[in-house]
Amino acid sequence: MAALHHVRRGSGPPLVLLHGLGMDWQGWGPVLDGLAASREVIAVDLPGHGASPMLDRRPDCYALTDAVQALIGDTRPAVAGVSTGGGIALELARRGAVSSATAISPIGFWTDAERKWCQESLRNQARLGPALRPIAPALARNPVARTLQFGQVFGRPWKLPADVAVRTLDTFLGTPGFEATNDAFDHYVFTRGEQLAGVPVTVLWGSHDWLLLPRCGRRVPRLIPHARLTWLDGCGHIPFWDDTELVTRLLLESAA
Protein backbone atom coordinates (compact mmCIF):
# COMPACT_ATOMS: atom_id res chain seq x y z
CA MET A 1 0.00 0.00 0.00
CA ALA A 2 1.45 3.38 -1.00
CA ALA A 3 2.01 5.81 1.86
CA LEU A 4 -0.52 8.59 2.33
CA HIS A 5 0.61 12.13 1.71
CA HIS A 6 0.63 14.17 4.91
CA VAL A 7 1.94 17.43 6.31
CA ARG A 8 3.46 17.90 9.76
CA ARG A 9 3.42 21.13 11.76
CA GLY A 10 4.28 22.11 15.31
CA SER A 11 5.64 20.01 18.14
CA GLY A 12 4.18 18.17 21.11
CA PRO A 13 1.90 15.14 21.42
CA PRO A 14 0.76 14.04 17.95
CA LEU A 15 -2.69 14.90 16.62
CA VAL A 16 -3.74 13.34 13.31
CA LEU A 17 -6.29 15.29 11.22
CA LEU A 18 -8.55 13.53 8.71
CA HIS A 19 -10.60 15.55 6.22
CA GLY A 20 -13.92 14.81 4.55
CA LEU A 21 -14.95 13.68 1.08
CA GLY A 22 -13.79 16.01 -1.68
CA MET A 23 -11.36 17.85 0.59
CA ASP A 24 -7.63 17.60 1.30
CA TRP A 25 -5.41 18.42 4.25
CA GLN A 26 -5.64 22.16 3.56
CA GLY A 27 -9.32 22.10 4.49
CA TRP A 28 -8.13 22.29 8.11
CA GLY A 29 -6.32 25.56 7.31
CA PRO A 30 -8.08 27.93 9.74
CA VAL A 31 -7.31 25.76 12.79
CA LEU A 32 -3.85 24.43 11.88
CA ASP A 33 -1.77 27.18 13.51
CA GLY A 34 -3.81 27.11 16.71
CA LEU A 35 -3.47 23.34 16.97
CA ALA A 36 0.23 23.33 16.07
CA ALA A 37 0.99 25.77 18.89
CA SER A 38 0.83 22.88 21.37
CA ARG A 39 0.63 19.72 19.23
CA GLU A 40 2.52 18.02 16.46
CA VAL A 41 -0.21 18.16 13.83
CA ILE A 42 -0.22 15.51 11.13
CA ALA A 43 -2.72 16.53 8.44
CA VAL A 44 -3.41 13.64 6.07
CA ASP A 45 -4.66 13.42 2.50
CA LEU A 46 -7.01 10.43 2.43
CA PRO A 47 -6.68 7.89 -0.41
CA GLY A 48 -7.81 9.34 -3.73
CA HIS A 49 -7.68 12.87 -2.31
CA GLY A 50 -5.06 15.58 -2.56
CA ALA A 51 -1.65 14.06 -3.26
CA SER A 52 -2.51 10.55 -1.97
CA PRO A 53 -2.98 7.71 -4.48
CA MET A 54 -6.19 5.78 -4.97
CA LEU A 55 -6.65 2.49 -3.18
CA ASP A 56 -6.63 -0.75 -5.16
CA ARG A 57 -9.84 -1.81 -3.36
CA ARG A 58 -13.26 -0.34 -2.69
CA PRO A 59 -12.65 2.84 -0.64
CA ASP A 60 -15.24 2.21 2.05
CA CYS A 61 -14.78 3.45 5.60
CA TYR A 62 -12.98 0.27 6.66
CA ALA A 63 -10.49 0.39 3.77
CA LEU A 64 -9.79 4.07 4.44
CA THR A 65 -9.28 3.23 8.11
CA ASP A 66 -6.79 0.52 7.15
CA ALA A 67 -4.81 3.09 5.12
CA VAL A 68 -4.65 5.59 7.97
CA GLN A 69 -3.77 2.87 10.49
CA ALA A 70 -0.88 1.81 8.25
CA LEU A 71 0.37 5.40 8.36
CA ILE A 72 0.22 5.86 12.14
CA GLY A 73 1.41 2.36 13.06
CA ASP A 74 1.49 1.68 16.78
CA THR A 75 2.07 5.31 17.87
CA ARG A 76 -1.52 5.72 19.20
CA PRO A 77 -1.87 9.46 18.48
CA ALA A 78 -4.93 11.53 19.17
CA VAL A 79 -7.08 11.77 16.04
CA ALA A 80 -9.69 14.22 14.82
CA GLY A 81 -11.76 13.85 11.68
CA VAL A 82 -14.58 15.62 9.93
CA SER A 83 -17.36 13.86 7.98
CA THR A 84 -15.71 10.85 6.29
CA GLY A 85 -12.64 11.55 8.41
CA GLY A 86 -14.88 11.51 11.48
CA GLY A 87 -16.09 8.03 10.62
CA ILE A 88 -12.48 6.90 10.20
CA ALA A 89 -11.55 8.45 13.57
CA LEU A 90 -14.28 6.42 15.28
CA GLU A 91 -13.20 3.21 13.53
CA LEU A 92 -9.60 3.83 14.65
CA ALA A 93 -10.91 4.21 18.20
CA ARG A 94 -12.78 0.90 17.85
CA ARG A 95 -9.47 -0.76 16.96
CA GLY A 96 -7.67 0.86 19.91
CA ALA A 97 -5.26 2.49 17.45
CA VAL A 98 -5.60 6.03 18.91
CA SER A 99 -5.42 7.60 22.35
CA SER A 100 -8.54 9.73 21.78
CA ALA A 101 -10.95 10.38 18.93
CA THR A 102 -12.80 13.55 17.99
CA ALA A 103 -15.39 13.22 15.22
CA ILE A 104 -16.98 16.29 13.62
CA SER A 105 -20.31 15.42 11.96
CA PRO A 106 -19.13 11.86 11.24
CA ILE A 107 -20.66 9.65 8.59
CA GLY A 108 -22.61 6.57 9.60
CA PHE A 109 -25.23 7.98 11.98
CA TRP A 110 -27.74 8.16 9.17
CA THR A 111 -30.85 6.34 8.07
CA ASP A 112 -30.91 5.03 4.50
CA ALA A 113 -32.88 8.10 3.41
CA GLU A 114 -30.46 10.48 5.11
CA ARG A 115 -27.47 8.71 3.56
CA LYS A 116 -29.03 8.97 0.09
CA TRP A 117 -29.72 12.68 0.70
CA CYS A 118 -26.05 13.19 1.54
CA GLN A 119 -24.79 11.19 -1.44
CA GLU A 120 -27.12 12.84 -3.93
CA SER A 121 -26.35 16.31 -2.60
CA LEU A 122 -22.66 15.67 -3.20
CA ARG A 123 -23.31 14.20 -6.64
CA ASN A 124 -25.32 17.27 -7.59
CA GLN A 125 -22.43 19.50 -6.55
CA ALA A 126 -20.10 17.40 -8.69
CA ARG A 127 -22.44 17.72 -11.68
CA LEU A 128 -22.92 21.47 -11.33
CA GLY A 129 -19.34 22.28 -10.43
CA PRO A 130 -17.79 22.24 -13.92
CA ALA A 131 -20.46 24.63 -15.21
CA LEU A 132 -19.89 26.99 -12.28
CA ARG A 133 -16.09 26.90 -12.38
CA PRO A 134 -15.60 29.56 -15.11
CA ILE A 135 -17.62 32.09 -13.09
CA ALA A 136 -16.52 30.87 -9.67
CA PRO A 137 -14.13 33.79 -8.95
CA ALA A 138 -16.87 36.33 -9.65
CA LEU A 139 -19.42 34.40 -7.59
CA ALA A 140 -16.98 33.99 -4.71
CA ARG A 141 -16.52 37.75 -4.42
CA ASN A 142 -20.24 38.16 -3.75
CA PRO A 143 -21.26 37.13 -0.19
CA VAL A 144 -24.82 36.32 -1.31
CA ALA A 145 -23.65 34.09 -4.17
CA ARG A 146 -21.09 32.49 -1.86
CA THR A 147 -23.85 31.73 0.63
CA LEU A 148 -26.02 30.12 -2.04
CA GLN A 149 -23.13 28.02 -3.34
CA PHE A 150 -21.66 26.87 -0.03
CA GLY A 151 -24.53 27.16 2.45
CA GLN A 152 -25.09 23.42 2.67
CA VAL A 153 -21.68 22.76 4.21
CA PHE A 154 -20.63 26.05 5.81
CA GLY A 155 -22.83 27.56 8.51
CA ARG A 156 -21.53 31.07 7.86
CA PRO A 157 -20.37 30.95 4.23
CA TRP A 158 -20.08 34.73 4.04
CA LYS A 159 -17.03 34.36 6.33
CA LEU A 160 -15.31 32.15 3.76
CA PRO A 161 -12.62 34.20 1.94
CA ALA A 162 -13.20 34.39 -1.80
CA ASP A 163 -9.93 32.67 -2.69
CA VAL A 164 -10.68 29.85 -0.23
CA ALA A 165 -14.12 29.40 -1.78
CA VAL A 166 -12.60 28.98 -5.24
CA ARG A 167 -9.95 26.60 -3.94
CA THR A 168 -12.62 24.57 -2.11
CA LEU A 169 -14.49 24.11 -5.39
CA ASP A 170 -11.31 23.23 -7.29
CA THR A 171 -10.30 20.66 -4.66
CA PHE A 172 -13.74 19.07 -4.75
CA LEU A 173 -13.82 18.89 -8.55
CA GLY A 174 -10.22 17.62 -8.68
CA THR A 175 -10.71 14.70 -6.28
CA PRO A 176 -10.18 11.49 -8.29
CA GLY A 177 -11.56 9.32 -5.50
CA PHE A 178 -14.80 11.26 -5.10
CA GLU A 179 -17.24 9.04 -6.99
CA ALA A 180 -15.92 5.70 -5.68
CA THR A 181 -15.79 6.93 -2.08
CA ASN A 182 -19.25 8.48 -2.26
CA ASP A 183 -20.65 5.24 -3.70
CA ALA A 184 -18.96 3.23 -0.93
CA PHE A 185 -21.07 5.04 1.68
CA ASP A 186 -23.83 2.58 0.70
CA HIS A 187 -22.32 -0.06 2.96
CA TYR A 188 -21.41 1.95 6.04
CA VAL A 189 -23.53 2.46 9.15
CA PHE A 190 -22.00 3.12 12.55
CA THR A 191 -22.88 0.37 15.06
CA ARG A 192 -21.56 -1.30 18.22
CA GLY A 193 -20.44 1.87 19.90
CA GLU A 194 -19.72 -0.03 23.10
CA GLN A 195 -16.58 -1.35 21.39
CA LEU A 196 -15.08 2.15 21.64
CA ALA A 197 -15.39 2.26 25.43
CA GLY A 198 -11.64 2.07 26.01
CA VAL A 199 -10.97 5.33 24.14
CA PRO A 200 -12.20 8.85 25.04
CA VAL A 201 -14.58 10.00 22.28
CA THR A 202 -15.85 13.49 21.54
CA VAL A 203 -18.41 14.23 18.82
CA LEU A 204 -18.93 17.78 17.57
CA TRP A 205 -21.94 18.59 15.40
CA GLY A 206 -22.90 21.85 13.72
CA SER A 207 -26.41 23.07 14.46
CA HIS A 208 -26.56 24.34 10.85
CA ASP A 209 -25.27 21.19 9.16
CA TRP A 210 -27.51 20.67 6.12
CA LEU A 211 -25.51 17.77 4.69
CA LEU A 212 -25.42 15.39 7.67
CA LEU A 213 -28.43 16.74 9.46
CA PRO A 214 -28.48 17.57 13.19
CA ARG A 215 -30.93 14.76 13.83
CA CYS A 216 -28.10 12.37 12.94
CA GLY A 217 -26.10 13.92 15.76
CA ARG A 218 -28.90 13.37 18.24
CA ARG A 219 -28.35 9.61 17.83
CA VAL A 220 -24.82 9.82 19.25
CA PRO A 221 -25.71 9.39 22.97
CA ARG A 222 -27.62 6.20 22.17
CA LEU A 223 -24.97 4.76 19.86
CA ILE A 224 -21.87 5.79 21.84
CA PRO A 225 -23.05 6.16 25.46
CA HIS A 226 -19.67 7.26 26.81
CA ALA A 227 -19.04 9.91 24.14
CA ARG A 228 -19.16 13.62 24.87
CA LEU A 229 -21.49 15.32 22.36
CA THR A 230 -21.04 19.08 21.86
CA TRP A 231 -23.18 21.19 19.53
CA LEU A 232 -21.47 23.91 17.50
CA ASP A 233 -24.01 26.71 17.51
CA GLY A 234 -24.45 28.31 14.09
CA CYS A 235 -21.80 26.09 12.49
CA GLY A 236 -22.19 23.92 9.42
CA HIS A 237 -20.82 20.61 8.25
CA ILE A 238 -17.33 22.08 7.84
CA PRO A 239 -17.06 24.41 10.87
CA PHE A 240 -13.49 25.66 10.65
CA TRP A 241 -14.31 29.05 9.12
CA ASP A 242 -17.63 29.37 10.97
CA ASP A 243 -16.07 29.61 14.44
CA THR A 244 -12.33 29.04 14.26
CA GLU A 245 -11.57 29.86 17.88
CA LEU A 246 -14.29 27.58 19.29
CA VAL A 247 -13.40 24.61 17.10
CA THR A 248 -9.68 24.96 17.84
CA ARG A 249 -10.32 25.06 21.58
CA LEU A 250 -12.62 22.04 21.51
CA LEU A 251 -10.20 20.01 19.39
CA LEU A 252 -7.37 20.69 21.83
CA GLU A 253 -9.55 19.91 24.84
CA SER A 254 -10.79 16.62 23.42
CA ALA A 255 -7.31 15.58 22.27
CA ALA A 256 -6.08 16.09 25.84
CATH 3.40.50.1820 holds for 6-113+179-255: yes
Distance CA 155, CA 108 (A): 21
3-state helix, strand, coil in the chain (%, to 5): 45, 15, 40
Question: pLDDT tens digits, the chain, 256 residues: what are they?
Answer: 458 999 999 999 999 999 999 999 999 999 999 999 999 999 999 999 999 999 999 999 999 999 999 999 999 999 999 999 999 999 999 999 999 999 999 999 999 999 999 999 999 999 999 998 999 999 899 989 998 889 999 999 999 999 999 999 999 999 999 999 999 999 999 999 999 999 999 999 999 999 999 999 999 999 999 999 999 999 999 999 999 999 999 999 999 9
Backbone angles phi, psi at 22, to 5 degrees: 80, 10
Domain ranges (residues) in the chain: 6-113+179-255
